[in-house]
Structure 1
Amino acid sequence: MKAIQSKTIVFVTGAFVTNLGWEQWQRYFESKGYKTYAPAWPHKEGTAKEVRDRQPNDVPLARVTLKGVVNHYAAFIETLPEKPIIIGHSLGGLITQLLVSRGLAAAAVALQSVPPLGVIPYEFSFLKAGWRSLGLFTSSDKTYLMSFKTWQYAFTNGMSLEDQKAAYEANTIPESKRAARGALTFTAKIDFSKPHAPLLFVAGGKDNILPASLNKRNFQRYTNKSSVTDWKEFPENNHFVVGLPNYETTAGYIYNWIQQL
């Protein structure tokens, strides 16, 4: 296989959190010689507090769809001088998988990814952590803001209360229920047999909202024998992998994986 020449990385943010959470990852990979980007979703520009202050009546954000977010990242990538390496977390991991399926990546990492259509998330912890974001029986023109209690369970389980609070204030932002529901529609459909760019799945052993078992089923659905599809689990990582103190361990593994392609 031809070595990956791209020196550009695009980070794809997941639901519920600001794109500014990638800053330390950007510094890490820029220190390795990469040019990095972490674009905000449509209508999510600004600090976490600035976006939160518009909740719950931020109708433009509430009307954002998953298809719109995927197209937003695709349009951004098409402005770049080369195909980037794409690294996406959570719903951003699913978006990354969809971008890979469009042939837009030189290589990609699905970091604790929301599963595509057809990979059934039957784990209780996933349902407990995520069902509120769908906003069933509530107005889809109002955004959803994850409560601190849900944040503790879904993202920062195992961390100190002080660190959980700090992470919540720095990262949480309102979410479009339409975007969350998009993962249950044909927008999230992938042809798993299609040839694709090298793709690494990374799971966290202490992730409640997207357990390692669910990530493993996602990984195992890819069947094209001519394409690189790899798997790595970090037993100590919860879902807040992007902001964990040990983030360099995860980022370093990804860097080494890229170098070996």
Structure 2
Amino acid sequence: MRQTVVFIHGLWIAKQAWQPWQDLFEAAGYDTLAPGYPGEADTIAATRADPDAQAGHGIDELVEHYAEIIAELPAKPIAVGHSFGGLIAEKLLGQDRVAAAVAIDPAPMKGVKPLPFSQLRSAFPVLSNPSNKDRAKALTADQFHYAFGNALPRAESDALWEEWAIPAPGRPLFQAASANFAKNSPAAVDVANDQRGPLLMISGTADHTVPDVVTRAAYTLYAHSDASTELLRLEGRGHSLTIDHGWREVADSVLAWLGAEVPAA
């Protein structure tokens, strides 16, 4: 039986951006799914036209949305997530709902202490207005270039924004920002689960939205688990690493890790 890989996008990037990854993984022998967020439409144009459809969904709602999709599958899949999708993948793994997970530039979980300026600036378009907690907000091309495309030529950053950018719910950002001050934060991950499957964390060293120091801090939180956890740092890569001209390097690294760490079903 072919294993299924469920791709989970982060804020501001449409589910359709995973299509090159899906094509590659299916050619490598996997089945794939790339479900959108609750309220995300079938087309990018429709999602952009109705941002309110995604408004108000927080981390727990997103996790349960993907958990319901996964529950319909014949076996536990592999979760591959980027940014907030990476955090969702980590939570699903900690809950034993997936067989393995890859968290690429994952949004910070509860317990991560570093808060670099670039991370604050990347989130500022949402966090600057408390009412955005109940809204869905898009990034401008300039905001996208700082948060995602800072390691790219401006022309490539603008092209990615034009092709893939969508509005995103603000609530997950507010929940992550307050995670260390909330007793029962939805950004908490079961990092001590010894029985979970393997986890690969990937960090771009030039990332503004989830700086390398943040991913490395999250990696250290898994130190007390006996389950396999690995960290791969990609030099000079920004937050756009799953969709820009270098996406294949990242995808090939994930495939190589899966081949070594996750036995065929």
Same fold by TM (over 0.5)?
yes
Equivalence for 1:75: 68
Conserved in 2, the CA contact under 8 Å of 1:15 and 1:180?
Answer: no
2: CA distance, partners of 1:241 / 1:188: 23
- Aligned partner of residue 137 in structure 2, secondary structure: coil
User: 2:27 pairs with 9, 25, 31, which one?
Assistant: 31
Matched residue, 1:244: 244
Query: Does the aligned pair in 2 maintain the 1:114–1:210 contact within 8 Å?
Result: yes
**C-alpha displacement at 1:139, in angstroms?**
5.1
Q: What is the SS of the residue equivalent to 1:36?
A: strand
Counterpart position of 1:191: 190
Structure 1 runs not aligned, ≥5 long: none
- CA contact under 8 A between 1:198 and 1:227: conserved in structure 2? yes
CA contact (8 A) 1:92 1:113 kept: yes
TM-fit CA distance, 1:232: 0.4
Is the CA contact (8 Å cut-off) linking 2:127 and 2:173 kept in structure 1? yes
- Alignment of 1:7 with 2:3, yes or no, is yes
Q: Shift of the alpha carbon at 1:218?
A: 0.4
| Aligned positions of 1:110-259 closer than 5 A | 110-138=103-131, 140-183=133-176, 184-185=178-179, 186-195=185-194, 196-259=196-259
Residue 93 of structure 1, aligned match among 86, 89, 92: 86
SS of the counterpart of 1:69? helix
- Is residue 48–residue 169 contact of structure 1 (8 Å, CA) maintained in 2? no
Give the Cα separation in 2 of the matches to 1:218 and 1:35: 29
**Secondary structure of 2:131's partner?**
coil
Q: Please tell me the root mean square deviation across aligned C-alpha atoms, in Å.
A: 1.6
The Cα shift of 1:107 comes to 1.0
**Number of the residue aligned with 2:36:** 40
Between the aligned partners of 1:29 and 1:123, the Cα distance in structure 2 is 34
Output the CA distance in 2 between the equivalents of 1:153 and 1:124. 12
3-state SS of paired residue (1:109): strand
Q: Which runs of 4+ in 1 moved over 6 A?
A: none
Offset of 1:138 from its aligned partner? 2.8
Question: Does the CA-based 8 Å contact 1:12-1:93 persist in structure 2?
Answer: yes
2:101 pairs, out of 78, 98, 108, with 108
CA distance in 1, matches of 2:78, 2:128: 33
Change (3 A) 1:6 1:100: farther
Secondary structure of the structure 2 residue equivalent to 1:188: coil
CA shift for structure 1 position 259: 1.0
Q: TM-score, normalised by structure 2?
A: 0.91
How far did residue 145 of structure 1 move? Answer: 1.0
Instruction: State the one-letter code of the partner of 1:190.
Output: V
TM-score w.r.t. structure 1 length? 0.92
Is contact 1:6–1:83 with CA below 8 Å preserved after alignment?
A: no
Q: Distance in 1 between matches of 2:55 and 2:160?
A: 23
Identity of aligned residues (%): 29
Whether the 8 Å CA contact 2:145–2:157 is kept in 1: the answer is yes
Gaps spanning 5+ residues in structure 2: where? 180-184
8 Å CA contact 1:133–1:146 kept in 2: the answer is no
CA contact (8 A) 1:9 1:85 kept: yes
Q: 2:13 aligns with which of 4, 14, 17?
A: 17
